[in-house]
Amino acid sequence: MFGGIRRMFPRKIFSDSEPPSSHHSFLLGRKLANPLEDDELVRKNRETAAYSALNVTFHRINNLRCMQIRQLCRNILVADPSERQGSEHHFGLFDNTSWTWTAIFSHPISHMPYPNVFHLPGEDISHSTDIKPAAISQPLINSIPPDLLPRFDPVFAKYHAHYSAGRLAAHQIPIEDYRANPCKYNIVYGRATAPDVHSITDVQCPVSPAGDGKSSITVKIYEPAPDINEGKPRPAYINFHGGGWVLGGLESDMEFCKRLVGELKCVVFDVDYRLAPEYQYPIPVNDCIEAFKWIQSDDMVRKRNLDRQKFAVGGISAGGMLAAVISHVCREEGMPLSFQMLGVPVVDMDGYGPDGKLTEKGWERYRSYREMEFTVSLPMAKMEYFARHFFGEKRDHTTYNNWKVSPILATNFKGLAPALIMTAEMDPLRDEGEAYGEKMNAAGSKAEVIRMKGMPHTFMMMDDILENGMRYNREAIRALAAAWGVAKK
């Protein structure tokens, strides 16, 4: 068996000075070469990836081989690490630089072409046709494509290789599995922790009932100490989390919300709008509009001591789209809005067909779609996944040429609240976000657009390890302070 495995994987998986010494040591390839690999989270992430990937592909391997592979993984993943031979090693099999997880990750999960790459003990594979050259030259699933790798920030690339490559992402599993255990698929690392704030409370905001009769959503309110503003009315920031209208929640932007309160002495409202596919368009959009109006109501302004002239909205990705929609609503209905903070916003969904897939013309709407089709963090397949869930199996024609779906298609860009739009170079949404800023500026509505070089879609979530992640916080705080005329802490 090990002869077969040696033929399957590149030579550097094994060290001549450290030959496999047990039935599972073929997975333990070389000594730790990078301090990142000492992290316990790395080990757990890789173990989860191994087990998940094998479970996904067992149906493509015959029963006898299947049982052997299960036993190998059980020995590795379940046994006490202290009892394993070679426990000072890491799982060389999952080293992104080795390009090795052949049977599982050579091709898309649904098109696994090598069902017989695992060989039985004593099996002669010298003339085997199972092992094809292409099978040992493909990268881990969700790893950075080689042609894009030089353009990514090297710090991000290193962390991504150790924490994310080789793991299934949320859009690659059934939504039911994700809902049952979201922590299994939410890969979080490099997030900076913000100082605690005076109070964090959950309140219920009334919204229009859906088919299940639910008529309220949660809004989390972050507040500074009552005396910090010397009794003066306080600015308010209304946040809408990202996640393609399908994923995410009140935990997504918690640290960012706390940071704004600490730096700007404002009150932050984080809206937990209902998610697709359980609640498809227009429910998530309407929830946010209704929540904004509720926060701006006389009762809430008085109760929370808010300055209605210093309201701002913002969000990341789908949250940026929701904030942009609110900006147009405020202009149309005469509600004051001082600023909009749009992080890597999705502002154009008209290129997606009734089945959720980009149409031929849709692919041509923005150059970054093709350029970043196979990027990490937000590949275009993930955007199609979001579109399919947001609009349903058969997208309604009323969602086309509709600014509440695609804010960039609004006919009037005059009189909008000033905006800071931050895009990421390695993000397929880059060009549409920048085009939105161009339309605002052309109409006389001020938009500052900043492109973060070498960054993926979710770079701001890694503000403890990426300089541009830290910069996102600084730029947002700077812009809000200027819009409100307040001093930063």
Write down the pLDDT at residue 138. Answer: 62
Structural tokens at position 462 = 């890694």
pLDDT mean by block of 10 residues, the chain; 489 residues: 39 35 31 43 49 41 43 43 35 30 34 34 45 55 96 98 93 95 87 97 97 94 90 96 98 98 98 98 99 98 97 99 99 98 99 97 98 98 98 95 99 98 99 99 99 99 98 99 89
Beta strands in 338-387 (DSSP E): 339-343
Rounded CA separation 13/35 (Å): 19
Rounded CA separation 319/337 (Å): 17
3-class DSSP state of 30 = strand
Write down the pLDDT at residue 37. Answer: 46
Write down the pLDDT at residue 29. Answer: 31
**CATH class belonging to 199-484:** alpha beta
Peptide bond preceding 133 in cis form (omega within 30 of 0): no
Contact call for residues 426 and 372 (beta carbons, < 8 A): yes
Structural tokens at position 373 = 């089709």
60: buried, middle or exposed (CB in 10 Å: 19+, 13-18, 0-12)? Answer: middle
Contact call for residues 206 and 290 (beta carbons, < 8 A): yes
Write down the pLDDT at residue 188. Answer: 83
Beta bridge partners of 238: 269, 313
Write down the pLDDT at residue 14. Answer: 32
Rounded CA separation 123/1 (Å): 7
3-class DSSP state of 309 = strand
List where CATH 3.40.50.1820 sits in the chain.
199-484
| φ and ψ of 341, to 5 deg | -110, 105
Write down the pLDDT at residue 489. Answer: 67
